[in-house]
Amino acid sequence: MSSSSLSSSLPSPASSHPLAPYGWDASWESEFTPYAEQGLLAGRVVRVDRGQCDVVTADGVLRADTAFVTPHDPLRVVCTGDWVAVEPAGDPRYVRDCLPRRSAFVRSTSSKRSEGQILAANVDHAVVAVSLAAELDLARVERFLALAWESGARPLVVLTKADLVGDPVTVSHLVEDVEGAAPGVPVCAVSALGGDGLDVLGAAVAGGTSVLLGQSGAGKSTLANALVGEDVMRVHATRDVDGKGRHTTTTRNLLVLPGGGVLIDTPGLRGVGLWDAEAGVGQVFAEIEELARECRFHDCAHGTEPGCAVLAALDDGRLAQRRLDSYRKLQRENQWIVAKTDARVRAELRRDWKRKGAQGRAAMELKRGRRG
């Protein structure tokens, strides 16, 4: 993989701003204008803690109360990574508003009602860590990628522990395998131990906010250490075992990377492996996925696209309509489970499905017309 394929096209940074290392850019600046006019301070939430949050501002890290911005919708609750407007003074000092999120990661709850817990906001890169110490499970990679895409962040796959494979030719074949399962997603191999590939990864995440996803044991903590630097992480870890709620400026779930960019590392996100338990749509419907690989377009929605192998199989009876219907249903449900993003994203998904549904019906009618 060339490092250019990873270079980001994020809004240009307002680089002279003291918050630029935290991801402040021209676009946040313009969204913040009305708040600035009210004398409010711009800041990014680096930690949340029962009704309060730590916000990094141009004046340093401030503790603020979130009572004003605590709505009934749990997905609207202020979380790490949010950009907020904070009162310049006061005791307590309040967060007055939260800027609209560009993306959000939400943990699904076991309840059927789609109430999630918001884990991280305004994430640009979802780094999916996949260990090369075990056999590649592409279906699992795809589920993490689905989670990443649904959040609004852009995924990239990092194959970790490349040193355990040894042979660089084998490593590059594994990279190609994953690239095949992840169209449009950059894939790289690293060894946090030996340091190979860390420069490429560091450059890829330098332009924005990242989170690390992946199974437990995939090497996320080791990777975070390598990216952030041992010292910062040790402070971070010490704080984790302390757990007394003591407030220090080093206590953050959002960390500035020495090579540029920001890493959000919350305990909840580490546990995102929870999603592993889901039955993979791809595994359950292997034959449809197989057919779909023959479609002319790799992103074919099997609706109205020309050269669709799935619709062709439906036509000549190799594929049962019932089977395709339940595939689509599970796919939709799976999206709900993995998405659980904020209301705006949910609304977009809903619109998308409506559009696809309409396309599908139109295609069916067209076909019926042709036959009759």
Positions that interact with ligand GDP (CB under 6 A): 160-161, 163-164, 191-193, 214, 216-222
Contacts by 343-351, CB closer than 8 A, 24 or more apart: 343/73, 343/75, 343/76, 344/100, 344/101, 345/103, 345/104, 345/150, 345/151, 345/152, 346/114, 349/150
For residue 246, give the DSSP letter. -
Q: Which residues, 175 to 234, sit near Zn ion by CB under 5 A?
A: none
Instruction: Please report how close the Cβ of residue 303 comes to Zn ion at its closest, in angstroms.
Output: 8
Binding partner selected for residue 161 from ligand GDP, Zn ion, none, CB under the kind-specific 5 to 8 Å limit: ligand GDP
Instruction: Say which residue the tokens 């292997």 belong to.
Output: 286
The b-or-e profile of 289-319 (16+ CB within 10 A means b, else e) is bebbeebeeeebbbbbbeebbbbebbeeeeb
The piece of 18-26, 182-190, 212-220, 295-303 that touches Zn ion (CB under 5 A) is 295-303
Instruction: Please report how close the Cβ of residue 129 comes to ligand GDP at its closest, in angstroms.
Output: 6
Binding partner selected for residue 308 from Zn ion, ligand GDP, none, CB under the kind-specific 5 to 8 Å limit: Zn ion
Instruction: Please report how close the Cβ of residue 197 comes to ligand GDP at its closest, in angstroms.
Output: 9
The piece of 70-78, 175-183, 271-279, 287-295 that touches Zn ion (CB under 5 A) is 287-295
By C-beta, is 47 or 220 nearer to ligand GDP? 220
Structure tokens at 131: 């260990």
Instruction: Please report how close the Cβ of residue 365 comes to Zn ion at its closest, in angstroms.
Output: 18
Binding partner selected for residue 217 from Zn ion, ligand GDP, none, CB under the kind-specific 5 to 8 Å limit: ligand GDP
Instruction: Please report how close the Cβ of residue 192 comes to ligand GDP at its closest, in angstroms.
Output: 4
By C-beta, is 132 or 308 nearer to Zn ion? 308
By C-beta, is 114 or 222 nearer to ligand GDP? 222
Do residues 199 and 189 make contact, with C-beta atoms less than 8 angstroms apart? no
By C-beta, is 164 or 274 nearer to ligand GDP? 164
Instruction: Please report how close the Cβ of residue 288 comes to ligand GDP at its closest, in angstroms.
Output: 32
Structure tokens at 176: 């190609």
Amino acid 277 reads: A
By C-beta, is 217 or 229 nearer to ligand GDP? 217
Using CB under 5 A, which of 123, 295, 324, 345 touches Zn ion? 295
Instruction: Please report how close the Cβ of residue 301 comes to Zn ion at its closest, in angstroms.
Output: 7
What span, in angstroms and rounded, lies between the C-alpha atoms of 198 and 101? 29
Instruction: Please report how close the Cβ of residue 163 comes to ligand GDP at its closest, in angstroms.
Output: 5
Q: Between β-strands 209-213 and 125-131, what pairing exists: parallel, antiparallel or unpaired?
A: parallel
Q: Which residues, 298 to 337, sit near Zn ion by CB under 5 A?
A: 300, 302, 308, 310
**CB atoms < 10 A from the CB of 80, how many?**
28
- Please name the helix (run of DSSP H) or strand (run of DSSP E) that holds residue 56, with its range, or none: strand 52-57
Binding partner selected for residue 302 from ligand GDP, Zn ion, none, CB under the kind-specific 5 to 8 Å limit: Zn ion
By C-beta, is 103 or 160 nearer to ligand GDP? 160
Binding partner selected for residue 295 from Zn ion, ligand GDP, none, CB under the kind-specific 5 to 8 Å limit: Zn ion
Binding partner selected for residue 233 from ligand GDP, Zn ion, none, CB under the kind-specific 5 to 8 Å limit: none
Contacts by 37-43, CB closer than 8 A, 24 or more apart: 38/85, 38/96, 39/88, 40/85, 40/86, 40/87, 40/88, 40/96, 40/97, 41/85, 41/86, 41/87, 41/88, 42/83, 42/84, 42/85, 42/86, 43/19, 43/83, 43/84, 43/85, 43/86
**CB atoms < 10 A from the CB of 276, how many?**
14
Residues that bind Zn ion (CB under 5 A): 295, 300, 302, 308, 310
